C-alpha cells in the first residue's frame, strides 16, 4: 500500500470519526429545545454534551489540515470551489459555539430563547452542509484541466448532494436522540426516547434512499456491502429504541453514521474529487497527493500522537459517563461525581 492510499484511508477515518462524535452533538443541539419543557431540562440536554462537544470538533480541524498536507491539490480545488458553502459552514460553527457560551450569561427568558434558537439552527446547518459537500465529491462537480472548479454555489445544490445532506442531518437527529436517552434520566430521557421512536425510522428511510441512489449512480457492486451495513444498523436502531435498549440504540446509530460516511469514500476511491466536465480532469489519490517525504513525516507524527488523542477522548467519556438529571443541573446531584456543568469544559457553561 502506498502512503498516498494510506492517507486517503486516514482522512476517510477522520471524517467518519468527526460525524460519529459530532453527529450526536449536532443531534442534541437540534433536539435540546424539544426534549426540555423548561430551562432546567434544556440544561440537562446541553450538559450531556458539555464536556465533549468542543473536543469532538477537533476532528473536523484535523481532517481539513490532513487534506491540506496530504492532498494539497484536493484541498485547493475543494476549498476554492466550495468557498461560499464553507463560509456558511464556518458561520454555523461559530454561531453554535457562541450559543453554548452565551446562553447562560443573561438572566431573561428571551435571552436564553434566542441562543436556544441559534444553537438549533447552527446544529441543523452543519450536518446538511457537510453532507452536501461529501455528496458533491462523489457525484462530481465541474473541474477543468487545471484542476480548477468552474461551477457556482448553486451547482453544489443538486438533488443527490442535497439528499445526502438531509440523510446526514436525519442520522444526526437519530444519533442525538439515542445519545440523550443513554446519557440522561427523567423527563428528558423519556422524551428523547419517544422522539427517537419517530426519528430512527425516518433516518432508516433516508439511508435506504441514499443506498439505492448511490448504487444506481456509481456502479461498484463489490462495494455495496458498506451502505447495506448502514441500512441494517438503522433497522437495528429502530428495534432497539422501541425495545428501550438505550445502549444498543446508540451503538446502532453510531454504526449507521460510520457506514454512511464510509460509503462516500469507499465509492469515491481512487478519486478524491470527480470531474463532471471530463473524466481526465478528476483528482485522484495519485495526482493530488503530496511528496513521499511529506507523507512519511505525517505518518510518523500521526502514529505517535493519534493514539494519545484517542486515549484522552476515551478517558473524557469515561469520566463523564454518568447519566444527568434535573437534580444535577440544580446542584443536587449525588454519587461522588460533580455535575457536568460544574466540571466540564467551556461548552458546559451554556447550561448555567
What grid cell was written down for 60?
A: 473536523
Give the span between the Cα atoms of 206 and 197, in whole angstroms: 15
CATH number of the domain at 239, please: 1.20.1630.10
Q: What is the pLDDT of residues 85-133, one digit of tens each?
A: 999 999 999 999 999 889 888 778 889 999 999 999 999 999 999 999 9
Section 222-250 average pLDDT = 95
230 close to 263: Cβ distance less than 8 angstroms: yes
Taken in order 18, 19, 24, 28, the sign of the CA dihedral is positive
Average pLDDT of span 193-220: 95
- Dihedral of alpha carbons 143, 146, 147, 148, sign: negative
- Residue numbers of the domain that contains 210: 3-326
**331 in a domain, yes or no?**
no
For residue 134, being part of any structural domain is answered with yes
Average pLDDT over residues 16-27: 96
Strand partners, 271: 284
For the record, the C-alpha cell of 156 comes out as 453544489
Assigned domain for 49 exists: yes
Contacts of 217 (CB under 8 A, 6+ apart): 138, 139, 160
* Tally of domains within the chain: 1
CA distance 123 to 117: 10
Rounded CA-CA distance 41/187 in Å is 8
Residue 165 binned pLDDT confidence (cut-offs 50, 70, 90): very high
Looking up cell 459555539 gives 97
- Evaluate if residue 43 carries a pLDDT over 90: yes
Q: Is residue 124 part of a domain?
A: yes
Q: Residue 331 has what pLDDT? A: 61
Instruction: Look at residue 265 and tell me if it is in a domain.
Output: yes
Share of the chain above pLDDT 90, in %: 84
Q: Is 154 exposed, middle or buried (0-12, 13-18, 19+ CB in 10 A)?
A: exposed
Q: Closest Cα partner for 225 from 202, 259, 253? A: 259
Q: Model confidence over 134-161: pLDDT tens digits? A: 999 999 999 999 999 999 999 999 999 9
Residue 292 lies in a domain: yes
Is residue 333 assigned to a domain?
no
Query: Is 350 contained in some domain?
Result: no
Average pLDDT score, the chain: 91
Instruction: Tell me whether strands 283-284 and 271-273 are parallel, antiparallel or unpaired.
Output: antiparallel
pTM (predicted TM-score)? 0.91
Tell me the chain's radius of gyration from C-alpha atoms: 20
Amino acid at each position: 500500500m502506498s502512503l498516498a492510499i494510506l492517507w486517503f484511508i486516514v482522512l476517510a477515518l477522520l471524517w467518519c470519526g468527526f460525524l460519529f462524535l459530532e453527529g450526536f452533538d449536532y443531534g442534541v443541539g437540534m433536539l435540546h429545545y424539544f426534549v426540555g419543557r423548561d430551562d432546567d431540562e434544556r440544561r440537562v440536554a446541553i450538559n450531556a454534551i458539555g464536556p465533549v462537544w468542543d473536543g469532538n470538533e477537533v476532528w473536523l480541524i484535523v481532517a481539513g489540515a490532513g487534506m491540506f498536507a496530504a492532498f494539497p491539490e484536493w484541498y485547493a480545488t475543494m476549498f476554492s470551489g466550495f468557498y461560499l458553502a464553507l463560509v456558511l459552514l464556518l458561520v454555523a460553527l461559530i454561531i453554535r459555539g457562541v450559543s453554548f457560551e452565551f446562553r447562560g450569561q443573561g438572566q431573561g427568558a428571551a435571552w436564553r430563547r434566542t441562543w436556544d434558537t441559534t444553537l438549533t439552527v447552527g446544529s441543523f446547518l452543519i450536518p446538511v452542509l457537510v453532507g452536501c459537500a461529501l455528496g458533491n465529491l462523489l457525484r462530481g462537480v465541474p473541474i477543468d484541466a487545471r484542476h480548477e472548479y468552474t461551477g457556482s454555489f448553486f451547482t453544489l445544490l443538486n438533488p443527490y448532494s442535497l439528499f445526502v445532506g438531509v440523510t446526514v442531518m436525519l442520522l444526526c437527529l437519530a444519533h442525538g436522540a439515542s445519545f440523550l436517552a443513554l446519557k440522561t434520566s427523567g423527563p428528558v430521557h423519556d422524551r428523547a426516547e419517544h422522539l427517537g421512536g419517530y426519528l430512527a425510522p425516518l433516518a432508516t428511510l433516508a439511508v435506504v434512499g441514499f443506498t439505492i441512489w448511490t448504487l444506481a449512480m456509481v456502479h461498484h457492486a463489490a462495494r455495496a456491502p458498506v451502505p447495506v451495513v448502514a441500512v441494517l444498523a438503522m433497522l437495528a436502531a429502530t428495534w432497539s429504541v422501541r425495545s428501550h435498549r438505550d445502549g444498543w440504540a446508540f451503538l446502532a446509530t453510531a454504526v449507521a453514521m460510520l457506514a454512511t460516511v464510509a460509503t462516500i469514500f469507499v465509492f469515491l476511491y481512487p478519486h478524491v474529487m470527480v470531474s463532471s466536465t471530463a473524466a481526465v480532469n478528476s483528482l485522484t489519490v495519485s495526482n493530488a497527493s503530496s511528496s513521499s517525504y511529506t507523507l512519511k513525516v505525517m505518518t510518523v507524527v500521526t502514529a505517535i500522537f493519534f493514539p494519545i488523542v484517542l486515549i484522552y477522548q476515551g478517558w473524557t467519556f469515561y469520566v463523564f459517563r454518568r447519566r444527568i438529571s434535573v437534580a444535577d443541573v440544580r446542584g443536587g446531584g449525588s454519587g461522588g461525581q460533580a455535575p457536568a456543568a460544574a466540571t466540564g469544559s467551556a461548552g458546559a457553561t451554556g447550561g448555567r
